Amino acid sequence: MLRKPHKLRVVALGSTFCVLTALVGGRLYDLQVRQHEHYSARADRQQTKNFVIQAERGEIVDRTGRPLATSIGTLSIYVSPKYFRAPEADVDLTSLSHQIGYFTGLPAHVIEARLQGNVVTNLGRQIDPEVANKVAALFDDYEISRRGFWFHRESKRQYPRALAPHVIGWCGTDPDGDNRGQAALELYYNDEISGQRIEGKTSRTGLSQAMQPLPPDQILAARGSTLVLTIDAAIQEATEAAIAETAAEFEADASGAIVMDVNTGAILAMASWPTFDNGAYGEYEAEQRRNRILTDPIETGSVAKLFTAAILLDTGKVSLNTMIDCEGGRARIGPRTIKDSPGHTLHVAPFYEVIRYSSNVGTVKAAQALENEEWYGYLRRFGLGERTGIDLPGEGSGILYPTSKWTSYSRTSLPMGYEMALTPIQIVTGIAALVNGGELLQPYVVREMQDSKGHVLWRHERVVRHRVVRPATSVLLREVMEDVVVHGTGEAARVPGYRIGGKTGTTRKSHILTHREYIASFAGALPMDDPRVAIYCFVDNPQGAYYASTVAAPMFRKIAEASILHLGILPSEPIETPLAAEGSVPFIGRQQTVTETVIDPLYPGVPDFSGLSMAQVRQQMPPAISNVRFVGTGRVADQSPLPGERYDASTEIVLVFSTDVPSAAAFAPAAIASAQETSR
- pLDDT, residue 668, reads 44
Burial tier of 152 (Cβ tally within 10 Å: 0-12, 13-18, 19+): middle
CA-to-CA distance for 126 and 162, rounded, in angstroms? 19
The residues, any chain, with a CB within 8 Å of residue 464's CB and separated by 6 or more, are 439, 440, 441, 442
CA-to-CA distance for 295 and 288, rounded, in angstroms? 13
To 5 degrees, how large is the angle CA 437–CA 440–CA 445?
A: 115
- pLDDT, residue 2, reads 53
Q: pLDDT digit string (tens) for 435-474?
A: 999 999 999 999 999 987 888 999 999 999 999 999 989 9
Q: pLDDT digit string (tens) for 491-529?
A: 999 999 899 999 999 988 877 767 788 999 999 999 998
Beta bridge partners of residue 271, listed in sequence order: 257
Of 46-60, 225-239, 630-644, which range is least confident?
Answer: 46-60
- pLDDT, residue 676, reads 43
Average pLDDT, the chain: 82
CA-to-CA distance for 428 and 435, rounded, in angstroms? 11
| Ramachandran assignment for 668, one of left (phi > 0), alpha (psi -120 to 50 degrees), beta (any other) | beta
Task: Output the furthest CA–CA distance in the chain (Å, rounded).
Answer: 152
The residues, any chain, with a CB within 8 Å of residue 160's CB and separated by 6 or more, are 67, 68, 70
Total residue length of the chain: 680
Asked whether the beta carbons of 491 and 457 are under 8 A apart, the reply is no
Q: pLDDT digit string (tens) for 84-143?
A: 777 666 777 788 888 888 888 788 888 878 888 788 887 777 778 888 888 888 877 777
Asked whether the beta carbons of 57 and 155 are under 8 A apart, the reply is yes
Residue 434: count other Cβ atoms within 10 Å of its Cβ. Answer: 30
At residue 625, the 3 state secondary structure works out as coil
Asked whether the beta carbons of 367 and 354 are under 8 A apart, the reply is no
Asked whether the beta carbons of 55 and 171 are under 8 A apart, the reply is no
At residue 176, the 3 state secondary structure works out as coil
The residues, any chain, with a CB within 8 Å of residue 297's CB and separated by 6 or more, are 396, 398, 399, 421, 422, 423
List the beta strands (DSSP E) in 205-280: 226-229, 254-261, 267-273
DSSP 8-state secondary structure symbol assigned to residue 224: P
Comparing CA positions, the residue from 100, 140, 92, 103 lying closest to residue 121 is 100
Q: Give start and end residues of each alpha helix (H) in 465-519.
A: 471-487
Q: pLDDT digit string (tens) for 155-173?
A: 888 898 889 999 999 988 8
Q: Report the relative pairing of strands 533-540 and 399-400 from DSSP bridges.
A: unpaired
Asked whether the beta carbons of 76 and 175 are under 8 A apart, the reply is no
Helix, strand, coil % over all residues of the chain, rounded to 5: 40, 25, 40
DSSP symbols for 50-92: EEEE--BPPPEE-TTS-EEEEEEEEEEEEE-GGGTSSTTT---
Of 50-59, 297-306, 616-625, which range is least confident?
Answer: 50-59
Handedness of CA 237, 243, 246, 249 (dihedral sign): negative
Q: pLDDT digit string (tens) for 549-584?
A: 999 999 999 999 999 999 999 887 654 444 333 333
DSSP symbols for 320-343: TT-EEE-GGGEEEETTEEEEPPTT
- pLDDT, residue 439, reads 94
The residues, any chain, with a CB within 8 Å of residue 621's CB and separated by 6 or more, are 607, 628
Q: pLDDT digit string (tens) for 646-671?
A: 666 667 788 888 776 544 444 444 44
Beta bridge partners of residue 172, listed in sequence order: 180
Asked whether the beta carbons of 615 and 635 are under 8 A apart, the reply is no
